[in-house]
Amino acid sequence: MTIENFYIALNKILKHEKLDVDEALFFLEETNDVLNKENIWQFLGLSETMLEETELPFNMTDSIFKAHNRIGKVFAVENVQELSRYKHVCYGAHGTKNDNVLSILSNGFVSSDKVKAVAFSGQMFGEGVYMCRLSQFSKVLNYISSPSTSTPSYAFLMKIGYNKKIDVTSSRSETIQPGELVHAHDIGMYSRDEYVVADSSQIAITHIVEIFEKNN
């Protein structure tokens, strides 16, 4: 199996799609006759966990999200990046298309001129990675692939390290410097916040969350 086909197969697993025979055989254990999904998640540096809503690593109080969506599995990152060199830490979430998930896990959040799968997004408050507050989790729905009741989309939960916070209430064009965090307050129709950093080393992914459309 080529590297390209390997990642195609991994993408199918992330989307809960059926593998063809060759793809399935590649992931079989010698002593097992079922697809070895557990080792796939370990390969990606994740541990698969099932959490109740009360056990989630954030407070799911977002009524906009809960009205039409539900959380599936939550995958914990096994080796979380160290952020002790920064004076402060806050927590955020980032939504992306399913096709970008493997790129972000492999390469982190990098600019689009370095990796085909674009992880950088947004310019309103400066070029960088845009994240929302965990209590406003529904904001990720604007950026993820469209989930269904059976096929998930994904969002990242992360810790964000910073030395200096810049609070804004309108757009800005200044370059965001390493160690800085831009915190935009009460933006848009729903008056939600944005966190923006330009230096991807300030971001430590802690969890990946499956998002499904809710069965009504």
Q: Please, which residues have CB within 8 angstroms of residue 21's CB and are 6 or more apart in sequence?
A: none
Instruction: For residue range 109-148, list pLDDT tens digits in order.
Output: 765 444 444 444 557 888 889 999 888 888 999 889 888 8
Q: What pTM, to 2 d.p., does this model score?
A: 0.74
Q: Domains of the chain, with CATH numbers?
A: 3-43 (no CATH), 47-213 (3.90.228.10)
Instruction: For residue range 159-214, list pLDDT tens digits in order.
Output: 999 999 999 988 888 889 999 999 999 887 777 889 999 888 999 998 888 899 98
